[in-house]
A = this chain, B = another copy of it.
Amino acid sequence: MVKIHIPNNHPRAESLRIREKLVEGFRKGVVVPEGLIAHGRGECFDYLIGEKTQPFAFKAEKAAVALLLLSNHPVISVNGNSAALCPTEIVKLAYLTGSKVEVNLFHRTFERERTIEKILREQGLDEVLGVGENASGTIPTVCSLRCRVDPRGLLVADTVLLSIEDGDRTMAYRKSGKNVIAVDLNPFSRTAIWASITIVDNVVRAFPNMIKLAKNLKKENKETLKKILETYNNDKILKEAVKFINQRLVRLGHEKVFGFSLTEEVLQLAKLNSVRLKG
């Protein structure tokens, strides 16, 4: 396969580089075709939040780390896309917060599970849950093979960190009484609405942010961490995200569509064309 060169001056260079990471994951058998499409969907929402960690996301990331540190059985759930985009960061965050890591796939095959397990082990993770026979537990109401979970991991978890996930799963986990931290770029998704803490951010920024936060918050006592959670309001965070996107779209409209800088040149061409058509 040809390696695509991405010019630095391309308006979406960073986004295209992340895209290539995912395509590489796809070639390795980690990411499925559907995962590539799901990523594209995320790309668009990322574009809507300005491809940066916005304050609403950072607040959620801080609360998420406090929650992981306070939980008795925190588990980070890994799917193909997150394994392709940030395996190193997943392992680091798990280590810093004392979380277990479990592989959980929609398009489940033993081969894919093993490939992801291998990637995580290469990053220094000793225990990778949820692979093969180990996923012998079941979480009710989750259809698809994602219902199969590890009795040492997702089954007994009190807090689950999910990224790029389907709403069904988030709802099932909440209904079974678990706390769910969801990294999801779409603030309107069922996952975003059902999660206890919704991080409207790209995983490639959310995980490094949480690692930095964990390094600091690890030193704090339980009372401080509880205070962070008590003052955190996910409903408010989602509203902030939605407001931000709306304001950004209005701004984008003004700059790109309602503005005159580029449009002038375009209108000139349009005029030339319509003259030609009329003639």
Interface set of A (CB-CB < 8 Å, partner B): 2, 4, 11, 19, 22-23, 26-27, 33-34, 36-45, 67, 70, 107, 158, 174-175, 177, 179, 186-188, 190, 193-194, 196, 226, 229-230, 234-235, 238-239, 242-243, 245-246, 249-250, 252-253, 256-258, 262-263, 266-267, 269-270, 272-274, 276-278
Contacts and interface: CB of A to CB of B under 8 A. Distances in A.
Nearest to A177: B272
B258 A239 contact: yes
Q: Which of A2, A249, A252, A272 has the largest count of B CB atoms less than 10 A from its CB?
A: A249
A245 B47 CA distance: 14
Nearest to A36: B36
Contacts of A42: 40, 44
A274 B40 contact: no
B226 A239 contact: no
B44 A270 contact: no
B44 A278 contact: no
B37 A179 contact: no
A42 to B, nearest CB: 7
A67 to B, nearest CB: 7
Q: Which of A67, A107, A179, A186 has the largest count of B CB atoms less than 10 A from its CB?
A: A179
A9 B38 CA distance: 19
A278 B246 contact: no
A26 B33 CA distance: 8
A115 to B, nearest CB: 16
Given A239-B257, A252-B188, A37 B40 contact: yes
25 contacts: A4-B34, A4-B107, A11-B190, A22-B33, A36-B37, A37-B40, A37-B43, A40-B40, A40-B43, A40-B44, A41-B44, A42-B44, A43-B44, A175-B269, A187-B257, A188-B256, A193-B257, A193-B262, A193-B263, A194-B266, A230-B274, A239-B257, A242-B257, A242-B258, A245-B249
